[in-house]
Amino acid sequence: MSTTTVEPQGHELKRVMGPKLLLLFIVGDILGAGVYAVTGQMAGQVGGIVWLPFLLAFVVATITALSYLELVTKYPQAAGAALYTHKAFGVHFITFIVAFAVVCSGITSASTASATLSGFLTDGLHVNGWIDEKASSGTITIIAMAFMVLLALINLRGAGESVKFNVVLTLVEVFALTIVIGVGFWVIASGDGDLSRVTVFEDDGDKGLFLAVTAATSVAFFAMVGFEDAVNMVEEVENPQKIFPRTMLTGLGIAVIIYMLVAVSVVSVLTSEQIADINANGDRALLSVVSVGAPDFPIDKVFPFLAVFAVANTALINMLMASRLIYGMARQDVLPRPLASVLPGRRTPWAGIAFTTALAIGLIFYVQQDTESDVVKNLANVTSLLLLCVFAVVNVACVVLRSKRHEHVKTFFTSPGPLPLLGAVLCLFLVGPWVDRDAIVYEIAAVLMLIGVVLWAVTFVINKITGTGDSAFEDVGSLGD
């Protein structure tokens, strides 16, 4: 009789998610700030073929998702990349680096969502005539920072993740993007749109087709992330080994179809000149599609607030995840123990929440200091950079763990052939400087990781002096608990 690699658990979460709820969770986690934040910038980079970077990002994400599926069905615990890294390499410091990179990606993703949200909120106020002039960049920054504080207060009250609530938010996200797609194809059908533009490449920076599409793909990758968060729900999924592979791949497919239809709508309704003006003025391309494509209908007065609602969900989920991981690492004496402090009564990790919120606010403020840079694009690029590095490690971990597999051990899912190795190579390729990221993106990522290493080193020294431990993880699998 075959055995499995499922490890016994001292306690189990209630398995409440079937394939339908899991699909909605995955789609909702992928959809969000990404498509709202980066579509206009991507169209400015490659012109009418903006759908192509979305498709290529989907290919890279899917290859990586196959590695995640092989690992999550082998180790069905809610710890994700850190667990797989530890199983493969067994080096506590490498495990910490991966776990902290995931934390930082959550913080930068939430910061991106916050900046995007503040832009849509002020646009909505302006479109409805509730403010006379468009908000300045300083005002948008202040709103973004205030929103991060609001998220912290919600987090402090113990805003637990609710599957049903995420279903509602997912439906709102899909509805908002359906409006963009509907308006775009209405314009095309009426003869006012230019569908022929979807095959036109426009090089904004004289990089050539390959480098321009590569650069846009690295940006588009931000819109495809989120599928990896689903592995943290594995202990609440019914029969995960059976339904996870099909459901995750279906979710990715739905997301890329929506993204490509949105991309076609943007370049069919808006001219190159309009897109250039939108990017130069810091406007939102999706809102412009609605206002230009349906000027006689008040859709543009409602759409910004739908977008706010959708983007807010991305920020909240990421900040909940980041503060939870900080708490988990501090509780195991991998980070300073004070970061594991909880609020009396509500039992929420106030120190982890304060730490991650301070980093997010600092990020928004720092990026805003460079008036020539695009705040949303750079923050999105930092998120992509960090996650691409994490995904490269996960793909390599998949190869390593596959080589350790025993013939008598039952496997539930295997990524085809050499795809994990190909996934690692593609992820590392998109990390390189040839994708035309601003230098500030690498600076931010390096500083964030340096903060983590310093905190780890301080904790290591304190643990050695006090004899309380050696900064090694006690139980990597419980980090997501």
Q: Which residue in this structure is represented by tokens 């969770």?
A: 25
Backbone angles phi, psi at 479, to 5 degrees: -60, -35
Whether the CB-CB separation of 104 and 448 falls below 8 Å is answered with: yes
> 226 Cβ partners below 8 Å, 6+ apart?
26, 29, 30, 31, 32, 34, 314
Q: What is the pLDDT of residue 343?
A: 86
Q: Per-residue pLDDT for 436 more than 60?
A: yes
Q: Which residue in this structure is represented by tokens 């934390």?
A: 103
201: three-class secondary structure by DSSP: strand
**pLDDT bracket for residue 13 (50, 70, 90):** very low
Q: What is the pLDDT of residue 249?
A: 94
Q: What is the pLDDT of residue 25?
A: 80
Query: What is the Cα–Cα distance from 457 to 171, expressed in whole angstroms?
Result: 44
Q: What is the pLDDT of residue 234?
A: 73
User: What would the pLDDT profile of 55-67 be if each residue is shown by its tens digit?
Assistant: 999 999 999 999 9
**pLDDT bracket for residue 155 (50, 70, 90):** confident
Mean pLDDT of 406-411: 61
282: three-class secondary structure by DSSP: coil
Q: Per-residue pLDDT for 12 more than 90?
A: no
Whether the CB-CB separation of 348 and 155 falls below 8 Å is answered with: yes
Mean pLDDT of 300-322: 86
Q: Per-residue pLDDT for 239 more than 90?
A: no
Q: What is the pLDDT of residue 156?
A: 85
Stretch among 45-49, 137-141, 477-481 having the lowest mean pLDDT: 477-481
* Of 364, 391, 386, 388, nearest in space to 375 by CA: 364
Q: What is the pLDDT of residue 1?
A: 37
Stretch among 8-22, 249-263, 339-353 having the lowest mean pLDDT: 8-22
User: What would the pLDDT profile of 350-359 be if each residue is shown by its tens digit?
Assistant: 999 999 999 9
Q: What is the pLDDT of residue 423?
A: 97
Most confident of 199-208, 360-369, 440-449: 440-449
305 versus 14: the higher-pLDDT residue is 305
Average pLDDT, the chain: 87
Chain Cα centroid distance, residue 276: 26
Stretch among 223-237, 260-274, 439-453 having the lowest mean pLDDT: 223-237
Backbone angles phi, psi at 201, to 5 degrees: -95, 130
pTM: 0.89
Q: Per-residue pLDDT for 6 more than 50?
A: no
Stretch among 71-80, 93-102, 108-117, 229-238 having the lowest mean pLDDT: 229-238
